[in-house]
Structure 1
Amino acid sequence: MDINMEGNEDEAWVDVKADAEELGVDETFIDAMQHMSRWNGHWRRIARARTWRVRVARQEEAWGRVLDEVIKAYVCWKYQSPDEVESIASGRSADNEPEQTYDYTVGVYDIFTRTTQLTIQRKGDSISPAIDLIRHGYLAKSPTRPSVAVAIATLELLYRLRQRKPSYSIEAFAKVVCDYYNIPYRRYLQEVFADTFEVYLRIIWHVHKSILEALGWGTPDWRVKNACRACCYKVRRHNSCNSNLENEPPLRFGRLIAMDGNNSLKRMATAAHRVAGDTRSLEDSDYFLSSDFVNRFANEVHGRATKGPAVKHKGQDSDEDSDEDLDGPETEGDPTDGLHPSNGAAAGNEAQDARRRRLALCVKNWKSAAKDEKKKMWAIFDESGVFAAACCHGFVLWIMDMVCSGELAKYPFAIVAKTLELLGERPLIGYNVGCTFSVTTERSSLGPAFTAAGGAFCVCAFHGYSHSYDCQLEFHPNVIEGAGLEDLETMERLFSMTNALASVTRYASPYRRRLFIEAYLWQLDEDKHLSLGTFLLNNYKQALHIVDQQANDYKQAMTSLGITTADLDQWEVEQSNFFSRLGEEEPYNVHAIAYVERLQELRDLDSRRQRANTNFLSYIPGEGVNYTRDLAATRRAETEHRHANERYERVYADVCALKIQMGLVARWTTTSPEYVAVMKYLKERKYQRALRKLQKLVTQRLFELQRLNVAQTGYKMRTHITKSLQTWCKAIQAAITSLNAAAAALVPPRPPINWSEIGGYQFLEQIRRAEEELLRLNVEVRRLHTAIRDERILFNQTLVRLNDTNDSLFGPVKEFIERRRRVNNHLLSRIHDIYKLPGFRGTRGPGTREGSAPPENGQDLDPDLVPDDDAAHDDEVDVLEGDEEQDALGHLVEFISGLSTS
């Protein structure tokens, strides 16, 4: 639909202004354009914007009128018998009498048949050619008068490719189709496949929702509450000999959740004065939280007023990007701003203030990194990333867009609010700044409810090693009772997969971006359900290995050393107290250290002074006539003599001042008890500093290794990282040498560290967490087995009901059930593998879900559900590839994280 500027141009501009007002374009801009010469072409831009937006709106309205019928026709085409499909497609009535029809021809694309044109028979009373085309297996680009259609089989292939390779673009697929047809690439085909693929996604999503409703799984928030069977399917144990029902063993934390933000899934904003044509929004999303809900928590935390770049809010013009605009406080705070006094962090007792200062140190690097993100580049993005949450098994719970901002506090607040609303009591939430966000939550409106629910925060294991030592002793999952062996780095694994979506969503419309993201998350959850059994099996083996092979060594070591569990608990308290005071030396110790260091320096300078004096006084010019050379040598000796005396006098003055400051009567000597005590402390401090340096280098190398494994890293970047790793390896080796030298100087000497012995170290926290892991796994395995048994019963009942009522959903529901049964067979094989483990400690067999009646007699037996023996040869075991050095480095990280520095 083009704007005709010929004839009465004033009337044409009236139409343009009316459309511009609808589009939100400033009227003064239109007036200025009207007075410009016609050749500049500005009016054509408005015409194109008007055309695109009106076209999209009208096409969406047209699809809305026929979408229900299109979905029914799709179900009929895919799941009915061939005779029924042929009868419908040929235009025959129920009594097999032909009805009045006429021919309709469209161009088609089908890589399987390479058909270029299709002629169908349309009924005279047909309401849309899209319905008639889909009955023949083709999806029209437009619902009204389509001139082109794409085969559903071709779109299904595109869908499968995109689900497995999200970076695969529609443009690339269009080129593949052109290659199949042996024709040059045509750019308009990208739009053809994009429009039809979008409608195809909507169709299969509506069919999927209908399947869930038929199974009773279509209630609001059903997916969040029930998708992960190991988390949600709580079981009670039925004792056939006793009418009493015994609940499953209680767990310290009801749910283990991870959350984090990611800035890869950005979306470009429109240029200045440009209006997007596609203004649709995905309202009925099953994953995305609405902006209205998230913005409820926008004012919970206020940003601290600091000098630096501010948030570029949506709608701010580019002319306003002056330096003055960037030098103001943010109106919204980030997850760590709860520590600031402006957010209720008033001065408390000494312990609270000290704890707040220590937690503030944990996020120093996090805040520095955040400043790099808060740049004017946010102005070019409408969505600057996503914030998401998932359970410990990898099932996505919620996701939300970060709109023109960084990782503000309102995003994790929204996750906490939804967790309290839907997921029950006692959640443990892992977050890379969970230590400080716990304080932020306490001071928010969610604080009382979160505390009453028994919730807690922790720092994810990998990020936790970069936090302060005392923070690790409180917030690292290795030391949290009830966390098991879970590292809660789930979001890093999730984002490593969703990052591939960035290339195909960066320039998409908001509607299509969310549609593609949601479709991919749906596939990820399907994959997580398939691999859940292997996940539990591998975790069970890991926990048994720690408990069976290391617990005995641990008990023998305690017996040989003559220590008890009470001793270990006391040492843990002392360790915590030590790290809480780490870096805070008493004033006397500071003066004593400075005094001893000056005494050592004075002793060295005294020997140098005496040597310089001797050289100067005993210097005799050589015989001969070279007066210039003798004069230079004399001056060098005199200068060395003078400088040695001046340095000695300065240090001597410092020694005297410190002696007076400390109130000493006599100068300390090397045999003085005080001097000996300070020297011992200096040696220990040197050892501690060497230990901290080694840990820092290992942590830095781990970050480099993580980046090295990122997909699609360029060759030059990989080369640079590889060289950096070689440097870090040398630095680590040097740090180990320094640590061993410092350890040897201690009294008594500490044992040296070497690469071959590090792999043998294990820690008490790991053994304790392994016992907890087994308890949780016993619960989760039984939950999964119970869910599989209950699903079989539900599936049989649903199929019988749909078949008896001749429901059109019988076909799609049957297809869904058949795949789900195969997946359940695979899971059951893994469950039986767990039951066969020598150290299995749980209850074999399914139980009864809370809130449901026990199964009838015979339903516990499952003749259709047999273990998948072939699956035993196709384990999805996560193996870290690498050489012996990388394996040793992993043990080194664990060793250093548990070393005592006292």
Structure 2
Amino acid sequence: MDISNAGEELPGSERADFSLVDELRENYHRTSRRRRDYRTRSDRTQKMVDAFALQLDAMTDAYMEWDLTSIDTGPTYEPTEGAVIQNTQKVFVVDVFDANDRFVSFIEGDAFIASSFLRHGIMPVSALNPEVAITIRALELFRTARLRCPRLGAQAFARTLCDLHGVAPRPHLQTQLAVAFDVYTAIHEKVCVRVQQALGRDTPDWRLKNACPSCMYRLEGEPSLELPLLFTMDGNNSLKRFHRREREVINEDGSTVPGDSKERMDNRDVTSDYYLSPEAVDKWAKDGMEEAMKGFVPDSDWDEESDGCAERWQNMKEEVTARAWGLYEETGIFISLCRHGFVLLVCDMIKSGELAKYGFAVVFHLLKALGEIASGYDIGCKFGKMVRSHPKLGPLARESKYKSLIGAFHGLGHNRLCQASNLTKYIRGVGLEVLELCEAWFSKSNALASSTRYASRFHRKQAVVNYIKHADTFDAYAGLSSLLCSKYHRALDVQKTWPVLQESMASLDVADRSEFEAWLVEERECLKNLSREPPEETLKMEYYQKLVNLREHEANLILIMGMDMPMVMVDGSDGYEASVQQTRRVETLRRHAQELRDKSLATVHDLELRLGVTQTWVPGDAEWVAAAELVSERRYRRALDQVQKLVISRMFELTRVNMAGTAYKLRKHIAKSLQVRSKALKNALARYNTAAESMVPARPTLTWDQVADYAFLADFDLLRLGREDIREKKWAAPAARVAMDEHFKLLRAEEEITRLNVEIRRFVTYMRDEEGFLIHRKAVLEESGERALAHQVSRLRMLQGRFNAGHKKRLAKLSRDPGFSGSVVPGISVSKERHVATSPPSADSLNTAREGAEQHDPPEQLRHAGAGEEDDDETDDEGISGLADAFDQILDITRDDGQRTVDVLDTPHTL
């Protein structure tokens, strides 16, 4: 319509009666009448999950077929000859660098539309009527990049795609990407399950029993280890997850309760044997153990005495560990690692801190599956006692010779008595292992926190499991040979300190190294005596203190009784009332003083009866002086304890400030807290020096510089000097303590080399057996017509096999070290499941498997370049390449006839 600027119809308008506007209004009302939608969004996710679940098996088949054919044809799909195309559909496909419309062909025999999409290498974002799809190579790029950088989320990757395509960010692409990625991950899990079934590795706890090649791949005739398996465990609260709830509800009494859950319906769960279920963990909860503990009596040889550590560690206090965090559903993870960094088990900490039930569940499962184990835990001193006194876990732990230790780093925070009994340095069979891998593992896994804090329960667990799988292969396995070599070199360096120890022994007049063992026993017994006060001395100190209190109360009573009563004035009501109030006040003070004196006197009489005192002590008596010295000693120790406690906090926080990865704001916050804590430490130091100077004889005082440099808490324990003066003991001298530490390091270095010789040979044998077994199984599957599954087995072989060239080179170089006493010749494993059957597949199928393996091997230049890129020593000695070639020949396990043989010392044996 022609309308003027004033809103009027211009002359000559054809629709002067505005009938067009009326028609538009009527059409709008007719099309806008819709039935009210009573559906909710809470079940939208569940409906999508159910729709994809029906097609998941068919989609997995299609993905495996596409993955096989893409080797020759690339990512594009071409129907095979004779295929009947029933229909085609136009779909918008998002790739890494472009997005365009494509036509999807539906082949006769396809059960679902989604599986047809997978045959083209694209993933639909809808289960029933997809109009948008994302290429598999884009999803694989996102999966790989996210595993390398866990902070990368779906939103960041979706916006990256938009930037690459030159378009503005599109919020809906993030949702589509998340849906496609979930289905892609589910397909990967299905493929993994099929591969494990084809390899016969789907039995319960198979992964756990084969988690680490060096720890668990035992060989025939190898030396026995005193502690066969060393692992460490710890909890971490970084991977918390918020529980989505409605707003808090305020009750009539003013109290608040959490609102109802807003979590969407989603029954998916991550099928992983890494995780212990909450039900398996809750069996060990404190609430269910009261009945089991009734009537249980521990063995007489168990030492259940307190060692003073329970008050130092936060996760050992009941009031801390029992506190539930209302904001979170999962408050972190509790993880266990072998000494080489492979994950054994993990469980979620749900609405709680680091409770004992998590450690109980992990230890029980490992004892049942693996047998004899030794665990490192930052509170291993108390946890070991809890395990031994447990009615169900205790007998199993004793039967399996379970050992609980404290790691080297956290051991510095325990008192000297605890260190002498539980520190790894003093435990036979541990070697030089510090059992502190969890902290390093958490420093990397903390990157997951930003992408899982607000995720759903399923997506958080999915991210954690995928990260663990990636870390086991690309961190733990990839660096296994480097770790073994560095441990070996460290043990050899410790052994080189033997001449220094000999000189120290000569200067200390120590004839035999066994004297160091006796020193440790003597120190332990002496510290035990210092750590507990005899009951008689305790009563004497209490009696002395009550006598002092009684004398003070009597003096106060005499003072108050001597106070003049105010004169009551009758002239004027104001003066009279003031005098009455003053009189009442004085009478109240007298009554209170009398009551305090009477209570103190009654307490003194009771203690005299218990101590058998016939005459009350008075100042100057021998008993009075002796008790005064005991009380002064106690005051001195408590002042020392306060200084020690503050130094512990300072020591750990200083370590945290300099830790790589600590954010700038957090470092500034810790530094500011240290300034305040330093003032508290100076005040505590002043109180300690006052108490030390009041002792007879005077005890050593401390300066700020001395305390600031203290790193070992044993220095504090030597200051205690209680009822027995240990300053004259040989083991208390600083030089003697250094020599004693060197002695135990040498003992542990010998054990470390023995263990490493076993672990290196296990690893060499594993590489040979695993590669040969997977090549053999691929040939068998191809011979049976399962080419797609055989291709996935080949992918599994290259998952770890890509690192074997570097492993061989490092171990070959280590074998040339003059101090190396082990062997890199493969042995025969105790487990026969990786041994090839005596009836091998045909030679043609083996040749085909070899050719397929060569296709997946990296190029020769990349393989040699990558093999040594992680070596600490960049110089390559002449002859290393030849030795590595010889090592490859030793590990060569296939021949044209299909027999797996190893020619070592002209004594071939068929496996």
Asked if these proteins are the same fold (TM beyond 0.5), I'd say: yes
In structure 1, the partner of 2:348 is 401
How far residue 720 of structure 1 moved from its aligned partner, in angstroms, is 2.6
Residue in structure 1 matched with residue 193 of structure 2 by the alignment: 209
Structure 2 SS opposite 1:846: coil
1:315-714 paired onto structure 2 within 5 Å:
343=293, 355-358=304-307, 361-362=310-311, 365-368=314-317, 371=320, 374-375=323-324, 377-378=325-326, 380-526=327-473, 527-549=475-497, 551-563=498-510, 564-585=512-533, 696=645, 698-708=647-657, 713-714=662-663
SS of aligned partner of 2:310: helix
How many positions carry a matched residue from both structures?
713
> Structure 2 counterpart of 1:65, which letter?
L
Shift of 1:869: 7.4
Query: How far apart, in 2, do the equivalents of 1:735 and 1:835 lie?
Result: 55
Q: CA deviation at 1:359?
A: 5.7
Mapped contact 1:268–1:381 kept (Cα < 8 A) = yes
Q: CA deviation at 1:850?
A: 1.4
Answering whether residue 765 of structure 2 is matched by residue 786 of structure 1, we say yes
TM-superposed deviation, 1:787: 0.8
Residue 755 of structure 2, aligned match among 755, 776, 795: 776
- 8 A contact 1:592–1:678 mirrored in 2: no
Q: Quickly say closer, same or farther: Cα 1:464–1:212, change in 2 above 3 A.
A: same
CA-to-partner distance for each residue in 1:750-784, whole Å, 9 max, x for gaps?
Answer: 99998999999461332322222222111111111
**Alpha-carbon distance in structure 1 between the residues aligned to 2:183 and 2:451:** 17
Q: Give, in whole Å, the separation in 2 of the partners of 1:412 and 1:44.
A: 54
Q: Is the 8 A contact 1:438 1:456 kept in 2?
A: no
What fraction of aligned residue pairs are identical, expressed as a percent?
Answer: 30
Shift of the alpha carbon at 1:480?
Answer: 1.6
1 CA distance for matches of 2:317 and 2:796?
A: 49
Q: Per-residue CA shift, 1:470-496, capped at 9, x if unaligned?
A: 222222222221122222222222222
Structure 2 residue corresponding to 1:106, chosen from 75, 91, 99: 91
Distance 1:588 1:104 in 2: 93
Q: Which residue of 2 aligns with 1:840?
A: 820
**Residue 840 of structure 1 aligns to a residue in which SS?**
coil
Matches of 1:582 and 1:872, distance apart in 2: 55
Contact 2:387/2:397 (CA < 8 Å) preserved in 1? no
2:134 counterpart SS class: strand
Task: Give 1:313's aligned residue.
Answer: none
SS in 2 for 1:356: coil
Relative to structure 1, the CA distance from residue 872 to residue 423 in structure 2 (aligned partners, 3 Å threshold; closer, same or farther) is: same
TM-score by length of 2: 0.68
Matched ranges for 1:181-196 at <5 A? 181-196=165-180
Partner of 2:885: none
Letter in 2 for 1:848: I
Is the 1:848–1:855 Cα contact (8 Å) retained in structure 2?
no
Structure 1 pair 291–347 and aligned structure 2 pair: CA distance change class (3 A): closer
Q: How far does residue 837 in structure 1 lie from its aligned partner after superposition?
A: 2.6
Q: Distance in 1 between matches of 2:117 and 2:652?
A: 54
Give yes or no for contact 2:374–2:405 (8 Å, CA) kept in 1: no
Q: Offset at 1:349?
A: 11
Larger Rg: 2
Determine the structure 1 residue equivalent to 2:64.
Answer: 75
Counterpart-to-counterpart distance in 2, 1:676 and 1:84: 95
Q: How far does residue 792 in structure 1 lie from its aligned partner after superposition?
A: 3.0
Equivalent residue of 1:122, what SS? strand
Q: Is residue 2:667 matched to residue 1:718? A: yes
Q: Is the 8 A contact 1:253 1:427 kept in 2?
A: yes
Superposition deviation, residue 371 in structure 1: 2.6
Q: Where does structure 2 lack aligned partners over 5 or more consecutive residues?
A: 1-34, 246-258, 546-606, 713-734, 841-849, 874-911
| Distance in 2 of aligned mates of 1:841 and 1:693 | 49
Indicate the residue corresponding to 1:266 in structure 2.
240
For residue 733 of structure 1, report the CA deviation from its aligned partner: 11
Which residue matches 2:254? none
SS of 1:288's equivalent in the other structure is: coil
8 Å CA contact 1:591–1:662 kept in 2: the answer is no
What stretches of structure 1 of length at least 5 have no aligned partner?
Answer: 1-42, 237-246, 303-331, 598-656, 878-902
Q: Which residue of 2 aligns with 1:251?
A: 225
Q: Would the alpha carbon gap of residues 520 and 742 (structure 1) be closer, same or farther in structure 2, given more than 3 Å must change?
A: same
User: Aligned match of 1:179 in 156, 159, 163?
Assistant: 163
Q: Please report how far the alpha carbon of residue 348 of structure 1 lies from its aligned counterpart in structure 2 after TM superposition.
A: 8.9
Describe the superposition over 1:602-636 as per-residue Cα deviations: whole angstroms up to 9, x where unpaired.
xxxxxxxxxxxxxxxxxxxxxxxxxxxxxxxxxxx
Cα distance change of structure 1 residues 290 and 277 upon mapping to structure 2, 3 Å threshold:
same
Q: Secondary structure at the residue paired with 1:120?
A: strand
Counterparts of 2:138 and 2:645, CA distance in 1 = 53
What is the Cα deviation at residue 274 of structure 1?
4.3
CA distance in 2, matches of 1:768, 1:691: 33
Letter in 2 for 1:416: V
Match of 2:566 in 1: none
Q: Please, which moves more after superposition, 553-562 or 393-402? A: 553-562
Per the alignment, residue 818 of structure 1 pairs with 798
Aligned partner of 2:846 in structure 1 is none
Q: Distance in 2 between matches of 1:164 and 1:248?
A: 38
CA distance in 1, matches of 2:391, 2:300: 23
Code of the residue aligned with 2:310 in structure 1: it is L
Matches within 5 A, 1:16-165: 47-49=39-41, 52-53=42-43, 55-80=44-69, 89-94=77-82, 99-112=84-97, 114-123=98-107, 126-165=110-149
Residue 479 to residue 732, structure 1, CA distance change in 2 (3 Å): farther
3-state SS of the aligned residue for 1:357?
coil
What's the CA shift for 1:59? Answer: 2.7
| C-alpha RMSD of the superposition | 4.7
Distance 1:361 1:519, change over 3 A: closer
Distance 1:195 1:297 in 2: 37
The 3-state SS of whatever aligns with 2:263 is coil
Conserved? CA contact 2:315–2:354, under 8 Å = no
CA distance in 2, matches of 1:471, 1:534: 33
**Is contact 1:178-1:184 (8 Å) kept?**
yes
Q: What is the DSSP-based 3-state SS (H/G/I as helix, E as strand, rest coil) of the residue aligned with 1:582? A: helix
Deviation for aligned residue 1:511: 2.0
Once the two structures are superposed, residues 3-40 of structure 1 have per-residue CA deviations (whole angstroms, 9 ceiling, x without a partner) of xxxxxxxxxxxxxxxxxxxxxxxxxxxxxxxxxxxxxx
1:234 alignment counterpart: 218
2:870 is aligned with what amino acid?
D
Q: Which has the higher contact order (CA 8 A, sep 6+)?
A: 1
CA gap of 1:85–1:561, structure 2 versus 1, over 3 A, is closer
Quick one: which amino acid aligns to residue 181 of structure 1? Answer: H
Q: Distance in 2 between matches of 1:587 and 1:409?
A: 32
